[in-house]
Structure 1
Amino acid sequence: MSCASISHQNIVIMRHGERLDNIDPSWASTASRPWDPPLAQAGHIRAFQMGRGIQQSLKYPIHRVFVSPFLRCVQTVVELIAALPTINNDLGTNIGEDNFIDNSKVKVSIEYGLCEVFNNVAIRPNVAPKDGNISFDVSELEALLPTETMDYNVQKVYNELPQWGESFLQARARYQKTIKELADKYPTENLLFLTHGEGLQTVLSSTRKDGANAKLQYCAYVELRRPIFNKDQLFDGGEFNVLPHYSQTGVSYISSNDP
């Protein structure tokens, strides 16, 4: 049996851009889906700028994006994709010399496991449906993305939306399960997860002692990295590590001693 070779997998977890109902509070009063606001113009701009920023800061390509079905998340990905291809054209993969991944196009899939917490705290009580009936037309969401980026063959970690009344503890377990299973499913690819503030908070809380005190800007993101062991073409991932070069953008921390 040959000795194991080691490469690395990189994971980026990002929050969506600014939502319209924060800029225009009256929007929800006439919206057909008031619990699913789109991006504000500032959100579109920030998401595109973040894509350009990632282009300069990441030292690796993004191969796959998994996104929450909420409209603001899908729209954030649309803006990111407009900026990301330059990375894929200019940089090679560090996943391993024997794995030639076509970096010319990033692939995108909608994943229910990355959605907002399904309760009337995270989904604001003044707009949350009283019967908890929230649904998405995935085909309409996919139509917003460039056709060549869609991967329709990816099996979701969660094939159904969470039940209404989900607790924050349940949601955090959902986020962790989703990220871990998809990372394990694509160990030779670098992944970006586009989710909500609670999803990003979950990652910070599991990787930093002060993660619970994090303040997150829109489009804030963190990077994680783990070793991937290749033994006879069988890939096994190690633990995600907070390395000295661990990167985060748009994240600040409040001291627990602050009033």
Structure 2
Amino acid sequence: MAKICAVVSRKGGVGKSTIAYEVAQCLGAVLVDLEWDGGSVSRAWGYRAEERARDVLMAAIEHDRAPRPLTGFRKPDLVPGSPELVDVGLDPEAWADLLTTWAGEWGREWVVIDTHPGASASTHGAMAAANVVLVPTGLRTRDLDAVEQIVAEAADYPMVVVPNMVPRIPPAPEIKRLGAMVHGTPVRVGVPIPHVSKIATRKRRMAMSAEDPTPRALEDAVDGYRRLAELVKEYGA
């Protein structure tokens, strides 16, 4: 049975798509993009919907068949997102069924789903289908506000909160707050991903975890992504 990892966040700017991209590469997974705005994993991969005559994702939904993932060099196989997703009239149950069916047809051990920031039918469907739900967060007040909300609403999901862009000296009050919000729930706090300033300006399309050798400036972050992928595997064991 294929396993699904959904990467979700109630707000943007927490590094959700970068984590989805790198974890998918580390797992050898198909990466499904359910974002419909700019800044998506599809654009990071090099796919531009406006330059394509055929919408891979929408065609698959309309014709009730699994889309064929695109392949690239040293980056995860991709089912690209679509700006039309915002108007798709599928409820969460339909999305969960669709994603589970596609994952089975692709024959991969793992599928990683990058969701649209915030609450949506496709995000809720991806969470329902997932073996593990990664929730990236910065250690900042508004980021933690969003995590607190999703933990309160969905603690029964197999959820792992991932502190991302963590400074060399983490802020103690925010660390304490994160621990308090998951206390007494099954939600885990996962591998912290350190802050690496070069990631924000990086232009290369290949996954950081696929570069050989890993650039020295990226080593700490790449080590975090790889350890996070190993944690994800625990949920599929």
Give the TM-score category using the shorter length: 0.3 to 0.5
TM-score, length of structure 2 as denominator length: 0.34
TM-score, length of structure 1 as denominator length: 0.32
Higher helix share: 2
